[in-house]
Structure 1
């Protein structure tokens, strides 16, 4: 029983046509359908379910919800009982509430972010198939992202008022959804306050991350690439397409990932992420970063924080 992986993200965009061009031409996703409300559904070439990104027209940017896929439909009922016993209200959405998707368990994290769990989404296959596949398909556009990898959510944190939804989210994910902690940043006079956490259900360093901020929001959604070379190529693609880059190619100390951060036309931050970093396992010791080494944790090469990285999000 339990969560398998990140399934999709639904994000708001202010110019749907510009957003579609960005995700198709820069990241290499392809549009699979558009619904009557004008929402656009896209997938990466190495994903087998029908879509992993939903773009919804809006007058403001940000996250509608993030969804994770569970193993079996019966898991939804078991997890609903566990989540409601924890004190969180849930709603079971009927099959078809989203196109090509089975019923979904809907609830809010302690930080206020909407999360959904589902077991079924229409299978369409990867672009290279499952019989004698090539390592990549012909006609890859842009950065050629393999799959939607993870998200990072900004969570309200105000210690003087006793608010720390990073810590609350972390406990919820562990106790209700069986995620385990891989890395954390501890701050405060006793160095015992979680200001950021990275959690996973798979063997990668993180399937979701939480970082404290003045208000809750979306920090970024991340797409997986093979290698450092591919991260550099992605930066070239962004330069050719005049994409606003937030942080040029570098390495994280946290997760050991190779990365570049940039914005879609509406201001939603994206990441292309390479390198599995390490084998994440439930019995692996948690990596802890101290407040004085946070710069190296985020940007290992310079050891210095970039103000926009923590101050700007949707």
Structure 2
């Protein structure tokens, strides 16, 4: 029982045509459907479910919800009991609430972010199929992202008042959804404040992450690439398409990932991420970064934080 992996992210965008162009031409996704409300659904070439990204028209940017896939439909009922026993209310949304998707368990994380769990989504297959497949498709576009990899959520953190939604979210997903803690940043007197966490359900360094800030929001959604060379190529593609780049290609100390951060036309931050870094296992010790080394944890090469990285998010 429990979460298998990230399923999709639903983002608010202010110019649908520009947003679709960005995610198709720059990221390399394909539009799989559009509903009567004007929402657009997209997937990457190496994903087999019908969509991993939902774009909804809005007058502002940001996250509607993030959804994770569970293995069996019955898991939704078991997880509902566990979540409600924890003290968080839930709603079971019926099949068809979202196109091509079964029923969904809807609830808010302690930080206030909406999360959904589901077990079934229409299977469409990868672009190379499952029988004698080629390593990549011939019509790959842009960065050629393989799949939606993870998301990072900004959570309210105020040491003066004692509010720490990073720690609350971390405890909740570990106790109720069986996530494991891969890495954390500890700050403050005696390093007692958990200011950021990276958690996993698969064997990659993180499937979700929480970072403290002055308000709740979306920091970024991330797409997986094969290698450092692919990260560099994605930067070239962004430059060619006049994409606003936040952080040029570099390496994280945390997760050891190779990365570039940039924004979609509405201001939602994206990441292309390569390098699995290490395998997460239940008995792997948690990696802890202290406040004096936080710069190296985020940007290993320079060891210096980029102000926009923590100050700008939707």
Q: How does 1:23-172 map to 2 (within 5 A)?
A: 23-172=23-172
Q: SS where residue 121 of structure 1 aligns? A: coil
Residue in 1 that maps onto 2:303: 303
Partner of 2:258: 258
The CA RMSD measured in Å over matched residues stands at: 0.3
Q: Please, what TM-score do these two structures have when normalized by structure 1?
A: 1.00
Q: Deviation of residue 88 (structure 1)? A: 0.1
Q: CA deviation at 1:90?
A: 0.1
Question: What displacement does 1:282 show?
Answer: 1.1
Structure 1: unaligned runs, 5 residues or longer: none
Equivalent residues in 2 for 1:253-292, closer than 5 Å: 253-292=253-292
Q: How many correspondences in the alignment?
A: 314
Moved over 2 A (4+): none
- Name the counterpart of 2:216: 216
| Number of the residue aligned with 2:190 | 190
**2-structure distance, mates of 1:305, 1:61:** 24
Question: Following TM superposition, by how much is the alpha carbon of 1:160 offset from its aligned partner in structure 2, in angstroms?
Answer: 1.0
Alignment-derived partner of residue 294 in structure 1: 294
Give the drift of 1:193.
Answer: 1.0
CA deviation digits over 1:172-203, x for unaligned, max 9?
00000000100000001010110000000010
Provide Cα deviations, 1:158-181, integer angstroms capped at 9, x if missing partner.
111110000000000000000010
Task: Using the TM superposition, give the Cα deviation of residue 103 of structure 1 relative to its aligned residue in structure 2, in angstroms.
Answer: 0.1
d(CA) in 2 for partners of 1:139, 1:188:
50
Describe the superposition over 1:125-173 as per-residue Cα deviations: whole angstroms up to 9, x where unpaired. Answer: 0000000000000111100000000000000001111100000000000
TM-score of the two chains, using structure 2 as the length reference: 1.00
SS at match of 1:254: coil
